Amino acid sequence: CEAFSTGGAVLAAGASDGTVRVWTAAVGSRPVGKCSLAGHSDWACCVAWSPDGKTLAHASKDGSVRLWTRDGKQKGTLKGHTGRVYSV
């Protein structure tokens, strides 16, 4: 799953290794790797930006949702699901 931030300047994509990779994606330029967000023990299934583009949420098959700032600082982990989380 991939998601562009509001305005389309940043792209985030979940991966089967449990990470989410974030790139700058300005129009007319080549995408540049910004950071890699780790912490899930299973596939990072879905990513979504908050409406203001300041927070990234990603769901995982490990049953958690992690929240990050646009600059790659973890804000928190939401736990409690007994099964896999496929969307946010």
Q: What is the mean pLDDT of residues 32-45?
A: 71
Q: What is the mean pLDDT of residues 51-64?
A: 86
By C-alpha distance, which of 34, 88, 35, 82 is closest to 66? 88
With a CB cutoff of 8 Å and minimum separation 6, the contacts of 38 are 18, 19
**Model confidence, pTM:** 0.80
pLDDT digits (tens, 9 = 90+) for 62-73: 778 889 888 888
pLDDT at 29: 61
Distance CA 26, CA 11 (A): 10
In angstroms, the Cα distances linking 38 to 6, 8, 31, 65, 67 are 23, 23, 20, 12, 11
Q: What is the mean pLDDT of residues 30-39?
A: 69
